[in-house]
Structure 1
Amino acid sequence: MLCSFLIYTLICVLLSSGTQAAPSSKSAASQVKREAPPQSTACGDIVRDATVNQFPASKVYECLTSVPFNPAVASRFLKYYKDSVQFQSTLAYLKTPPASYLQPPVDLLGGLDVIQTKIDTGAFANQYEFEATLQRLIYSAHDDHFDLASGILGVFAFGTSYRIVSVSEDGIELPKVYVAADIFQSQRDGNSWEPSPIVTLDGQDVTDYLTRFAAENAIGGRESHTDWNQLMSSPAQVIQGMPSIWGGGSTFYPGEELVIGFENKTTVTTPWKGIFLGDSETRPLETGGDFYNSFVLGWWPASYDPEPLPEDEEDEEDESSAVTSSQTSPTATSTAIPSPTAWNNAAYPSPDIAQENLGTFGGGFLSGYFLQDNIAVLSIPSFQEFGDTVDEYSSVVGRFISTAHSRGMKKVVIDLQRNFGGDALLAIDTFRHFFPKIDPYGGSRLRAQPAANVMGKAMTDYFKTLPSDDDDYTYLYANEWVASTRLNADTNELFGSWEEFFGPHASNGDSFTTTQRYNLEDPLFDSLALEAYTEGFIVTGYDKSITEKPQLFAAEDIVILTDGVCSSTCSMFVEMMHNEAGVKTVVVGGRPSYGPMQAVGLTRGVRSYGIDTQLDSDIADTQAIREFNNQPADFLADRATALEVEITYATLNLRDQVRKKEEIPLQFQYDAADCRIFFTPDTVINFANLWKYAADAIWNKPELCVKESTGYSNTDATDTKLPPASVLPAQAAVETSEVKLGSIINGIFNSNTGPGIEAAKGAKTAPKQTSNQVKATGPVRAEKCKVNPTTSALFCSNPNTICDNNYAYCSTLTPGKKIPRPGCVNLCPYVGMSCGTGTTGGTCMAFPGSEDQLDGTARGYCATPYRWASTKCSTASSKNAVQPGEASVPNKRRRDGDELFAEMEVA
């Protein structure tokens, strides 16, 4: 039997920004070595201060650039990563994109080769330069499924406490940039004073500065309008507990301070802030070498003696269920917290229909509103659901539609602002509630390359030998490499063999598998294909035992509202609603220019696939099958020993989304929204006003649409022509080089040489394995939330804690398993302090609706790391690592899966 487990897909929380390494004029033939500088203690200064987690960005940069570089370790990691990137579905189209793609081309594999050459010639002075260069290459793919957080870059984030919004005074004139708090306060004060817009940043025109900042820092944007929107503060993002890139989500050092110039001639100078995402468990660390050992190689300090993880097997058997205990506490009445029924954010009105436990601390995202003028609004900021909320999600969508119809609502607005995706089957389920007679196409395909062929052949053939009561049968049923449970899109029949599935089929100089579809009529596939397995789940309309419900709203009476920040599963939903059902789209925001904008501005790929989790697990399973069949197992390098670098998360896009009878992936096609609108002072802080404004623009007042933004949308799937260049956002210039790397790549690529370094000089060697050097499988289990038997409200007996429905911890019995369940997380005195416990992570989070998440004064809570970052838990007890100086010793991984949320304001 395969040793396997279910892995949840990562919520795509994205980080980015950039820094440049100065190019060198020295000869490429000579590797220059420099004297080791005095060892900086900036890292130790940061780690020792356990009371706060915010520092001057310059101090953080000093720490980052003090971390030594080991070329041998970097080279092995790059080999591991390049082997993985072969599974990225878009390589050929990124290198040679069609005219409908608005970003520069990039050769990812060629770029990795260039980085390896720079390693060989000693171009990187420290670990930060190497990681920054690799990260910028990754960001040039403009695909938020293709992402990496590893080493020291995941330890810090950067931001400013001056969050910004882009607002048009009347919705017609071009928008200006404002400090968000000024707009909010002015509206609350009844417009008794007029906020002054920002006109310069560091002496540069504000639009030019932010356009460049967005191009270098935003990840996944397929056009500059979406890059721009990712900088702006949005209530739809705040309610999900995530920061904007500008407000706390930049990965790379932005500078020491920022000078903000206003139209009224005043200026404000504010320091850029660095947010430390570690916790007190990181200590004791002192030098950059210590930082390397801890965050690059994943070593616990030898002196660390962690609290033992509990081994309560009986408790874990109830791991994914809602709390059912009827135990109460003497303080239950005073500390009970009712299930939230509204978002804790002034931009959202009280909903008429909502999921239970709606809110940042709950498991629900859906809310419905019935406005005047007979307009119903369904807000879906995420398709990510877990456990019992999956079935509830579907029922709430159905109840919203039926109630809206019975109450006489004539029009429906579906708000998808800041929807970064989630579970594909929930998007299909939502679509089927609105259009029960349409069987959505949902075609997708993989890159057909040798390793994929080996994996698919082994797993599909093995699966066919299994009886249905075998554990591996259930485990593999919805696996990406089992062809026989999926439909051939050409025949609408199950694939008969892996060979039929694999093809390959040539397109744009590469090879791809046969287009596949989900077999939605198969209840076992539906249940197992969910990211959070839900027994008995079947997509609405495919259960033959239930009478089909009628369609209650015509396509022309529905509109989809996005801000371009719509990714993955969100893009699937828009594709079904717009191109298959004919629903119109409205997009809000974008750069201060006229012209159209795409409703889906982030990735249109349909499968985010974890490299160090799902891919490595599938490779291991393939190797086991091939060994059992006496076949060569090492079709790829040994992943277990090759991965010696600490990874927080690493993902790629496994499957392209393609339309029927088409070859070009939707990722590279241009689809303008039917109408584009600007935010106004009345709509940016009041979504009821925004929903009405969007509805008016489509149905009553087309003049509200931005000038030159209409007439370019087409629901004909074969018409993908670009609008005239005069109305499109300008494309960034592409640098000329032998490898097409795009314009945002670090200057290191255009340097023939670079300064060398003795990576190990001055670096502290790693501690040898000792009895108190242990495996970190994840945060220690928190107290379960209790249930008030009278009100059914969840509560915590300790008044210094609060119940978080999204709490999760790592199983101590099943390696790799993440266990979600309501848990009592600590309240913290103010945002900015370090929580410093294994139970809840290291970051004191702001409550939703806080005006400023970086000011260090607001009371907050200590969120579990698994609530925000990767869903990965440790899958192995130990791995080999190599320290600076190449001393190879066995070790225990420092914090496999103990990821910390690295950007505190986005979605």
Structure 2
Amino acid sequence: MARRAAIAAVLASAVSLVAAAATSATGTEPCAEVRNLYLRGNSIPAATGYACLTSVPFDSETGIATVENFKKFSEFHSTLGDIKNPGVGYANEPVDILGMLDNVIAMIKQGKIKNQYQFEEQMALVVGTSFDGHYTFLGNTFYSSLDWYRGGATETGEFEGSLVSVSLDGAALPQVFFATDLNKKDASPIVSIDGVNVVEYLTKESTHQLFHDADARWNVLFARQQSDSPGSFIGPWFYPGPKFTATMANGKTKTIQNYAVVPEALKEKWSQVVDGKSFYKTFVAPGSTSSDSTTDIPERSLRKRYVEKRLVPPNYPKPVIQHADKEVELGAFFLADYTLKEVAVLSINTFDPVASGDSVEFQALIQKFIAYAKSQGRTKMIIDVSSNGGGSLFLGYDTFKQFFPTLEPDIGARMRYSTALDIIGTAFGTITLEDATSGSFDNNGLTPADMYLSPIHYTTSVDANGKDFSSWADMRGPVTINGASYSQIMRYNFSDPYLYQGDTIESVTGYGPLADTPAQPYAAEDIILLSDGYCASTCAAFSDLMRRQGGVRSVVLGGRPAFGPMQGVGGTKGVLVEPWEAIEASIASTLADFGTAAQKKKWAGYLPEAFPIAMSSAPTVNFRSGYHPGSDTPMQFLNESANCRLFYTPAMLTNVTHIWESVARLAWGFGGGTGQT
């Protein structure tokens, strides 16, 4: 909660200082004004921050080069072809990403893009149409140099612009309230924002979230205890305007000022900024001493953009067991209500290990808790994956195997075939195990072991039948599906000891040294998978295995104010994200260690180069799409509703125990059930 407290302290004086700040801005370079206000400890009006960012000059040649390079990089994005014709199960519009990027180039040539912020915003909007958290382009001007906030902090540390979406009795449709008003006797729901119907306004706002499901996008806007966040409505990615006015059902209105906040880690950089040109030199131009296309700005994960999460958020019950590292959000609980003495809860907010040894502890903790829960007569298990953005794929598979040790995970994967991928795969495919272990290959780029263990190398996967690929040509295909080209179906060989390299577990449970496993601890009907739609990447794979193979029922929370089904997995269902640094290293090694001069000259037309601008974090692509057995449709485009949906009630928003108790009564009828089905 350290960052949350720091943000509250910065914003606490916002209301009293904004008028003076706005007045002093007259006649001053807006970027200098931002710097001066920040260094004096004063609040920065959002309009002043926006004036600064839109004063940053734009170089059209650099912009075109950036887009062209990103197009080459996007050739590695596995759903680039699928999303042009995603099928009936996908609720969003089909899009032509490369065509939209060409349109950005056309806008540049026509002089329609006037500043760097506008350029980076256009790039973010194009990438955002994929609704895939594994596909990103995050420029420093648009994304990381300033944070936006709707409203300041109250004396009690609450965020005045934070909203909640809540059903007052759990049966009626949810309404939107200010979080600070919810517990007041005269609380009145918001009916409009800036004159627009509140549902219409917030639905449009939610389209900036990188979730494929509209209900998940809706949930992310609001304060929820499980995410330990005031909601993304108060901290949007884009400029939210100078203020907003909400009208309540009782006719009262509330106007809240918006602010820009300089991230504390950027204090030294902002001290160098006096105008738009110096901003460009500081934040946009690549470092003069490095060829890297990213700056030394600390990378910020999407899930931790606004506040720091804790292992056990406020009002969580005392855990029976929890991970030692507070950043690894894994804890286990026993429900205390006398009618629910049979129920245990495993709260998994992440599969992402942080420090060395975290993966091993994660694996051991789940094993320990399952055994302990069974020994204490806890015959029912709720697995809560709310706000789980993913992490180590092996930990997701391992957790599934701990609950269903006799089942073989059957998710397949494909890469998108491209000439660039083929160039690298052909080169890396010549590296043998002997090269990797003996170091006999004379290399100038990646080590032979790095190339041999790359996800591009054909030996790191087996085919759909569990058989080894004989060569890169055997694995690459290409196979034509839906008008695009892909590799053959690939799966992991969990018995391969070379699969577990780096800081990870020794093996997935049920394989290799962990082949001997206890019997299945719980029947499928005794497990409930709980989510809020914010489940992505590894969480999506884990949820798919638990539901589809394990036969576990699922419950999802919240969603838009409408009756009907909701998906439990609203985030990306891709099974491997690859950052630019990894692909850049593979390209550099290919050019350094393989091919003739003539071949390298030809390859240059297909392989992306270092980006000509600095970015908040390196661009990423979804490198492998997940597939069900026998299906040619990526999991990303399948609509898979949860078995049951519950609306948030006021009690659920402030005490997660009420959620778990409601789910237990609904699922197993304890204490007479909930009256819902």
TM-score w.r.t. the length of structure 2 is: 0.85
Matched, 1:164 2:150: no
Q: What is residue 523 of structure 1 aligned with on the other side?
A: 497
CA distance in 1, matches of 2:215, 2:675: 16
- Pick from 203, 217, 231: which aligns with 1:244? 231
In the TM superposition, residue 275 of structure 1 has moved relative to its aligned partner by 2.0
SS at match of 1:272: strand
CA distance in 2, matches of 1:583, 1:571: 14
Matched, 1:297 2:261: no
- Pick from 91, 96, 101: which aligns with 1:107? 96
- What code does the residue aligned with 2:582 have? Q
1:345-364 counterparts in 2 under 5 A?
345-357=313-325, 359=326, 363-364=327-328
Are the equivalent residues in 1 in contact too, given 2:565–2:641 (CA < 8 A)?
yes
Q: What is residue 381 of structure 1 aligned with on the other side?
A: 349
1:782-801 counterparts in 2 under 5 A?
none
- Pick from 498, 511, 521: which aligns with 2:485? 511
Are the equivalent residues in 2 in contact too, given 1:377–1:413 (CA < 8 A)?
yes
- What code does the residue aligned with 2:59 have? N
CA distance in 1, matches of 2:556, 2:516: 36
CA distance in 2, matches of 1:641, 1:282: 29
Q: What is residue 32 of structure 1 aligned with on the other side?
A: none
Are the equivalent residues in 2 in contact too, given 1:433–1:540 (CA < 8 A)?
yes
CA distance in 1, matches of 2:430, 2:277: 48
Are the equivalent residues in 1 in contact too, given 2:192–2:248 (CA < 8 A)?
yes
In the TM superposition, residue 466 of structure 1 has moved relative to its aligned partner by 0.8
1:328-347 counterparts in 2 under 5 A?
343=311, 345-347=313-315
CA distance in 2, matches of 1:633, 1:525: 34
Q: What is residue 265 of structure 1 aligned with on the other side?
A: 251
In the TM superposition, residue 442 of structure 1 has moved relative to its aligned partner by 2.4
- What code does the residue aligned with 1:113 have? D
SS at match of 2:556: strand
Q: What is residue 89 of structure 1 aligned with on the other side?
A: 78
CA distance in 2, matches of 1:108, 1:704: 46
In the TM superposition, residue 224 of structure 1 has moved relative to its aligned partner by 1.5
Are the equivalent residues in 1 in contact too, given 2:573–2:626 (CA < 8 A)?
yes
CA distance in 2, matches of 1:460, 1:214: 43
- What code does the residue aligned with 1:404 have? A
Are the equivalent residues in 2 in contact too, given 1:163–1:180 (CA < 8 A)?
yes
Cα deviation, 1:51-99, whole Å, max 9, x if unaligned, reads 4485211111111111111101101111111110111111122111201
Q: What is residue 172 of structure 2 aligned with on the other side?
A: 173
SS at match of 2:650: coil
Q: What is residue 260 of structure 2 aligned with on the other side?
A: 274
Are the equivalent residues in 1 in contact too, given 2:536–2:569 (CA < 8 A)?
yes
Matched, 1:218 2:218: no
SS at match of 1:648: strand
* Pair 1:539–1:477, CA change in 2 (3 A): farther
SS at match of 1:683: helix
CA distance in 2, matches of 1:546, 1:214: 45
Q: What is residue 479 of structure 1 aligned with on the other side?
A: 454
1:395-474 counterparts in 2 under 5 A?
395-464=364-433, 466-470=435-439, 472-474=447-449
Q: What is residue 779 of structure 1 aligned with on the other side?
A: none
Are the equivalent residues in 1 in contact too, given 2:225–2:655 (CA < 8 A)?
no
CA distance in 1, matches of 2:601, 2:398: 40
- What code does the residue aligned with 2:320 have? D
- What code does the residue aligned with 2:611 have? L
- Greater fraction of residues in helix: 2
Aligned length: 607
* Pair 1:367–1:495, CA change in 2 (3 A): same
Are the equivalent residues in 1 in contact too, given 2:584–2:609 (CA < 8 A)?
no
In the TM superposition, residue 504 of structure 1 has moved relative to its aligned partner by 0.9
Identity %: 31
Matched, 1:596 2:565: yes
List alignment gaps of at least 5 residues for structure 2: 1-25, 151-158, 290-309, 440-445
In the TM superposition, residue 631 of structure 1 has moved relative to its aligned partner by 4.8
Structure with the bigger RCO (C-alpha within 8 Å, sep 6+) is 1
SS at match of 1:662: coil
Matched, 1:55 2:47: no
Cα deviation, 1:452-502, whole Å, max 9, x if unaligned, reads 11111111212455152439343234311111131111x311211101100
Cα deviation, 1:539-577, whole Å, max 9, x if unaligned, reads 111134652211110111101111111111110000110
1:801-840 counterparts in 2 under 5 A?
none
Structure 1 range deviating more: 133-142 or 38-47: 38-47
In the TM superposition, residue 627 of structure 1 has moved relative to its aligned partner by 4.4
Structure 1 runs of 4+ off > 6 angstroms? 638-641
SS at match of 2:344: strand
CA distance in 2, matches of 1:55, 1:576: 47
- Pick from 324, 328, 334: which aligns with 1:370? 334
In the TM superposition, residue 382 of structure 1 has moved relative to its aligned partner by 0.6
Q: What is residue 80 of structure 1 aligned with on the other side?
A: 69
Cα deviation, 1:337-376, whole Å, max 9, x if unaligned, reads xxxxx8453231110111123x3xxx43210001141110
CA distance in 2, matches of 1:41, 1:67: 11
- What code does the residue aligned with 1:476 have? M
TM-score w.r.t. the length of structure 1 is: 0.64
CA distance in 2, matches of 1:399, 1:343: 18
Are the equivalent residues in 2 in contact too, given 1:233–1:247 (CA < 8 A)?
no
1:132-151 counterparts in 2 under 5 A?
132-151=121-140
CA distance in 2, matches of 1:546, 1:439: 12
CA distance in 1, matches of 2:190, 2:260: 23
1:355-754 counterparts in 2 under 5 A?
355-357=323-325, 359=326, 363-371=327-335, 372=337, 373=340, 374-386=342-354, 387-464=356-433, 466-470=435-439, 472-489=447-464, 491-528=465-502, 533-534=503-504, 537-544=506-513, 547-611=516-580, 613-627=581-595, 631-632=599-600, 635-636=603-604, 642-649=610-617, 650-700=619-669
SS at match of 1:493: coil
Q: What is residue 13 of structure 2 aligned with on the other side?
A: none
Q: What is residue 46 of structure 1 aligned with on the other side?
A: 34
* Pair 1:349–1:140, CA change in 2 (3 A): same
* Pair 1:392–1:147, CA change in 2 (3 A): same
- What code does the residue aligned with 1:122 have? G
* Pair 1:635–1:407, CA change in 2 (3 A): same
CA distance in 2, matches of 1:639, 1:91: 17
In the TM superposition, residue 538 of structure 1 has moved relative to its aligned partner by 1.0
Are the equivalent residues in 2 in contact too, given 1:442–1:518 (CA < 8 A)?
no
Cα deviation, 1:727-769, whole Å, max 9, x if unaligned, reads xxxxxxxxxxxxxxxxxxxxxxxxxxxxxxxxxxxxxxxxxxx
Q: What is residue 19 of structure 1 aligned with on the other side?
A: none
- Pick from 197, 200, 203: which aligns with 1:208? 200
In the TM superposition, residue 699 of structure 1 has moved relative to its aligned partner by 2.5
CA distance in 2, matches of 1:343, 1:519: 32
Are the equivalent residues in 2 in contact too, given 1:259–1:269 (CA < 8 A)?
yes
* Pair 1:515–1:243, CA change in 2 (3 A): farther
SS at match of 2:81: helix
In the TM superposition, residue 177 of structure 1 has moved relative to its aligned partner by 0.9
SS at match of 1:462: coil
- Pick from 216, 221, 235: which aligns with 1:231? 221
CA distance in 2, matches of 1:506, 1:639: 22
CA distance in 2, matches of 1:344, 1:554: 28
CA distance in 2, matches of 1:209, 1:598: 22
In the TM superposition, residue 128 of structure 1 has moved relative to its aligned partner by 1.8
Q: What is residue 791 of structure 1 aligned with on the other side?
A: none
- What code does the residue aligned with 1:507 have? I
* Pair 1:40–1:97, CA change in 2 (3 A): farther
* Pair 1:385–1:641, CA change in 2 (3 A): closer
Are the equivalent residues in 2 in contact too, given 1:66–1:126 (CA < 8 A)?
yes
